[in-house]
Structures are given as C-alpha cells and as structure tokens.
Amino acid sequence: MTVLLLKLAGPLQSWGSESRFTERGTRHEPTKSGAIGLLAAALGRRRTDSVDDLASLEFGVRIDQPGSFEGDFQTEHKRVWDKDRARWIVDVSKSLPLTRRHYLADAVFVAAFEGDSELLYACAQALDSPVFPLFLGRRSCPPACRVLLGILEDETLLGALKKHPWEASRRYQASWKQRDKEFVDLEVLYDGCSSTVGEGYDVVQRDVPVSFSQEHRRYSFRTVSHATVSVRNPEYVGQFTDHDPWLALGKEA
C-alpha cells in the first residue's frame, strides 16, 4: 500500500468536530475532515466540489507534541456599503454575538493517509505547490513548516507511523520530562473497523466530510481506534554518560 505522511505543526491549530454557534472548540488531535480539507485546498478544489475520493482514504495521526489548549473571545461586525465613500465600512451599531474559540498552541502531529497511489501522489505534488493557502483547521492557523514529509510504498498506515522519526521540537525532546527516555510512547489515532466499537479505546466521531459547501455542510461518522507506538528520542541524555570532557581536551581527570 501507499502512505502519504504530513507534518502538522504551527503556533496555533484548531480541529473542531462538534462546534456549535458561539462556542468553537478543538480536539486534542487533527480531525479527518480537517486534514482532508487541507488536501482539498492544495488540490484547488472548491467547497462545492466532491471530496468522496479523499474521504475514502484511510487516515491516522500520531501525537508527537501535544501542545496546550488556549482560548480567546472574538466579536464580529457586519459590513455595509457606504455610497458616499464608495467602499465597505464596518457597521459598529450591529455587532454579532461574542464567540469563544479554542486552539492548540505549540503542537506537532504526524498525519498519514493510506490508499490509492495515484491520488496520493497527486496530493503530494499539490502540497508542494498548493492552489489555495494551507491552514491547520482554521484560516488563522497557517503551518509553520513544510507540510509534506514524503510517500512510502509497500507500507501500512500504522507501520509508517511506527517507523517515522519523532517530529517534536528539539526543545520538547530535550525537556526534563523527556530527556531521560531513550524511547517515548506516542499516541496514535486511526480509522478503525465498525465491528470493534466498544472494545478498548475505540470511539465514534462525526468528522468524515460529505460536503464542504457553506450552504449545507455535511459530515458522516467513523470509528476511531487508539494505539501506542514507541519511537527513539534523539535527545536522550543517557547516550552521553560515558563522555569525559577532560579527555576531549587532551587531559586526564
């Protein structure tokens, strides 16, 4: 099988799956609908275009750096056309309700898509030269680095997420919580089988896009399975325990 790997990292990310009205939340990991929206933007698809081929891909995400939850309050105003000045102006007399929006700050994820080879190669090419700007769930959340990590052939989705190096920042890898660990355990969430609902940590989420149309957005359900993988920590301090700085200076302790 063919697997496409993405790195989703930025100062802010927001992956909502059940946001309603003035409360716009985020999950602690990227949603399938959000990741498909990113691919669709790279490919140049409009909101009214079909994404059935993208939705049919198997999806999984590894949490390399969980980040922290942040929130803010926002208010919006309607714009009206000023005939005298021939331009749009903000109508401060008609403000919209205050909204609360939630974000993930300083988080890093490795996302993977498995499926049709031709489609995944087209997505990879589009990610390097996207038609529309790429965002991490919301327009105010651009990626901080190159999104495309690469494509693997003859590999499964879980196998690719197990083998890929840890993508967390060096600062996080060398933090006091991680530096004493030669291997770290990372959480993986991936498309599961509906027959496994209720077993282990499997849950059902409504984040498979049927239509991104602003007039009538529609999503269907998928089963999400949880797993844990171990990856090596390149900042592990134990590998330097035999180092003698005096010998490096040509002296004996």
Q: Quick one: pLDDT at residue 196?
A: 41
Q: Quick one: pLDDT at residue 195?
A: 41
Q: Quick one: pLDDT at residue 242?
A: 57
Domain boundaries, the chain: 2-248
Q: Quick one: pLDDT at residue 96?
A: 65
Of 53-67, 74-88, 157-171, the least confident: 74-88
If you average pLDDT over every residue of the chain, what do you get? 85
- What pLDDT band is residue 36 in, cutting at 50, 70 and 90? very high
Q: Quick one: pLDDT at residue 113?
A: 97
Q: Quick one: pLDDT at residue 79?
A: 75
**Higher pLDDT pick, 180 / 41:** 41
**pLDDT digits 0-9 by tens, 103-117:** 899 999 999 999 999
Inform me whether the pLDDT recorded for 253 exceeds 70: no
**pLDDT digits 0-9 by tens, 215-234:** 788 888 999 999 999 999 98
DSSP of the chain: -EEEEEEEEEEEE---SS-BTTEE---SS--HHHHHHHHHHHHT--TTS--HHHHTSEEEEEEEE--EEEEEEE--EEEEEETTTTEEEEEEEEEPPPEEEEEEEEEEEEEEEEE-HHHHHHHHHHHHS-SS---SSSTT---SS--EEEEESS--HHHHHHHSPP-S-HHHHTSTTTTT-SEEEEEEEEE--GGGTTSTT-EEEEEEEEE--TTS-EEEEEEEEEEEEEEE-TT-GGGGTT--HHHHTT---
The third-level CATH classification (topology) of the domain covering 2-248 is Alpha-Beta Plaits (3.30.70)
- What pLDDT band is residue 80 in, cutting at 50, 70 and 90? confident
**Higher pLDDT pick, 22 / 5:** 5
Q: pLDDT exceeding 90 applies to what percent of the chain? A: 54
**pLDDT digits 0-9 by tens, 144-176:** 999 999 999 999 999 999 999 999 999 999 887
Q: Quick one: pLDDT at residue 194?
A: 42
Inform me whether the pLDDT recorded for 60 exceeds 50: yes
